[in-house]
Copies of this chain bind each other. A is one copy, B any other.
Amino acid sequence: MTSKSCSDTPSADQLMALDNQLCFALYAANRAVTARYRPLLKELNLTYPQYLVMLVLWQQDQSVQSPKVSELGQRLRLDSGTLTPLLKRLEERALVNRTRGTDDERVVRVCLTHSGRLLRAKAVSVPERLMCGVDVEPARIASLRGELRNLLEILERVEPSEQ
């Protein structure tokens, strides 16, 4: 007998099978979920990443200061190359204002406009309506969400040592 049994060392074929990869499951599930959001967000005229930005802004609307672009980026794990044009489109639609800082002229703070705040009322029904007609127990959703956050946290913790 060798030190490891067959079940311990899957073949290269098995390791490379599409359906055995976490990456593809994540990739496909993510697109299936965003596809489910799409018709709901279309009613708000928002894309999915734009909706995420609005969620952050709605959540922090009570804060003393509007978030910087970099703070939105940290929260959503997006860089300025993604956020800058996205925020400009939201600004064109008068949902947000981008204002250059007075003390530090490098920073841009993003705050909601009146219509941006109003849009929240139309968005509150989205989370409930999303899983309408989909037979999944809320507890399983919550557990899956927890597992994904755990994975994300571990991956982000490891990065600094690698690379």
Interface residues of A (CB under 8 A from B): 12-13, 15-34, 36-37, 39, 48, 52, 55-56, 58-59, 75-77, 120, 123-124, 127-128, 130, 133-136, 140-141, 143-145, 147-149, 151-152, 154-156, 158, 161-163
Are A133 and B161 neighbours in the complex by a CB distance under 8 Å? Answer: yes
Are A148 and B56 neighbours in the complex by a CB distance under 8 Å? Answer: no
A151 to B141 Cα, complex, angstroms: 9
CB-nearest residue of chain B to A19? B149
A120 to B37 Cα, complex, angstroms: 36
Q: Given that A154-B136, A158-B134 are known contacts, is A148 also in contact with B29, CB under 8 Å in the complex?
A: yes
Are B18 and A59 neighbours in the complex by a CB distance under 8 Å? Answer: yes
Give the distance to chain B from A70, nearest Cβ to Cβ, in Å: 17
Give the distance to chain B from A71, nearest Cβ to Cβ, in Å: 13
Give the distance to chain B from A28, nearest Cβ to Cβ, in Å: 5
Give the distance to chain B from A45, nearest Cβ to Cβ, in Å: 18
**Across-interface contacts of A37 in B (CB, < 8 A):** 23
Q: Given that A22-B141, A144-B22, A154-B136 are known contacts, is A124 also in contact with B12, CB under 8 Å in the complex?
A: yes
Are B155 and A16 neighbours in the complex by a CB distance under 8 Å? Answer: no
A143 to B22 Cα, complex, angstroms: 10
Are B136 and A21 neighbours in the complex by a CB distance under 8 Å? Answer: no
